[in-house]
Structures are given as C-alpha cells and as structure tokens.
C-alpha cells in the first residue's frame, strides 16, 4: 500500500525485541518483527524507548505538513529533499526517517552509518511495501491532537 500524503514513517534498523517504544503519548512493547511506525501524522513528535533496565531515552522528529515531492534521505539528517522521476514529473511522497539501533550502547542513533545509496534503497523498499509487516500504524483513532487540552 502506498504511503498517504501528510503521513510519515519512522524506520528503526535492527531494533531489539521486547523494547519499550513509544511515539507521543502511547507506548508499546515491541515484538520480533518490529521495525518502526508508519502513518505518522504531520507535525513534531516525540519518540522514546527503553531497553532492559536502562533509562528511557528519546528524540524529537518532524513530519512535514504538506510533503509534495519525493524524499531523498540524506545521511545524518531528517530533512527531506526533492527529486524528480525519469520523466521529469514530481513524485508525491511522505517523510521517511531512518534511525539505526546500536546494540552495544542500547540506543537509537541520531546519525546513521549508512551510505546515501543504502538509505535510498530503504526508502524505495518502504514505498514498495516491503516493511509493511514490521511497521506498526500510528494510532490515529486513539490520539487526536485536536482533542487534547
């Protein structure tokens, strides 16, 4: 299934199972196939996690409100750039944020060690739906930001 406009994906490479993982106000315990979250609405979000007895850690990320061009994921950044397909037309897409999990330090790294080509291959795989089984949907039915005080 293609990604919808104004929704994003947070992909975590090599996450451990049984990690406490949350975005915004809801958290979960991850399973064997967990790889991140999809259908994240536009805006700023807080991702937080905890492995074992370590302290809870987290980071903020941003999903643009009107993504109108294809994302090209650059190393060490969450900012989407634009590109055109071979015919010169603009490809609509959503924000895709890729973060790697460091097993030794038990943390999600702020900067990826992947090449630009590897990150672009991950982006293409997400658009083809290859990660659908490992991406949990953002719980839009449970979190309605306009309902919060």
Closest CA to 143 of 4, 39, 67: 39
Pairing, β 7-13 against β 96-102: parallel
Instruction: Name the phi and psi angles at 12, rounded to 5.
Output: -110, 120
Q: For residue 88, what are the CA distances in angstroms to 67, 69, 70, 111, 120? A: 18, 12, 12, 31, 18
pLDDT at position 6 is: 57
pLDDT at position 10 is: 92
pLDDT at position 69 is: 43
Whole-angstrom Cα distance, residue 136 to residue 31?
11
Closest CA to 34 of 126, 134, 138, 139: 134
Residues 85, 93 contacting (CB under 8 angstroms): no
pLDDT at position 145 is: 53
pLDDT at position 143 is: 63
Q: What is the pTM of this model?
A: 0.73
Whole-angstrom Cα distance, residue 133 to residue 98?
17
- Residue linked to tokens 């790697």: 100
pLDDT at position 79 is: 35
In the chain, where the domains are located = 7-135
C-beta atoms surrounding 78 within 10 Å:
19
Tokens of 34: 């967990």
Whole-angstrom Cα distance, residue 105 to residue 17?
15
Tokens of 124: 């293409």
7-135 maps to CATH 2.40.50:
no
pLDDT at position 115 is: 86
Q: For residue 66, what are the CA distances in angstroms to 30, 79, 85? A: 30, 14, 19
**Tens-digit pLDDT string for the chain (149 aa):** 444 445 889 999 999 999 999 999 889 999 999 999 998 988 899 999 998 887 899 999 888 876 544 444 333 333 333 333 333 323 234 588 889 999 998 899 987 778 889 888 888 888 888 998 999 999 887 766 545 55
């Amino acid at each position: 299934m293609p990604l919808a406009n104004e929704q994003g994906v947070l992909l975590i490479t090599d996450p451990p199972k049984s990690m406490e993982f949350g975005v915004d106000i809801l958290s979960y315990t991850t399973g064997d196939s967990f790889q991140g979250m999809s259908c994240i609405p536009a805006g700023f979000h807080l991702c937080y996690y905890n492995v074992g007895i370590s302290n809870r850690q987290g980071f903020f990320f941003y999903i643009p409100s009107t993504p109108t061009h294809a994302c090209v994921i650059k190393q060490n950044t969450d900012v989407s750039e634009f590109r055109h397909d071979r015919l010169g037309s603009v490809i609509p897409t959503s924000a895709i944020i890729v973060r790697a999990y460091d097993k030794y330090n038990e943390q999600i790294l702020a900067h990826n060690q992947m090449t630009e080509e590897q990150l672009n291959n991950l982006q293409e795989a997400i658009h083809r739906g290859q990660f659908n089984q490992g991406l949990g949907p953002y719980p839009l039915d449970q979190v309605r930001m306009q309902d919060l005080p």
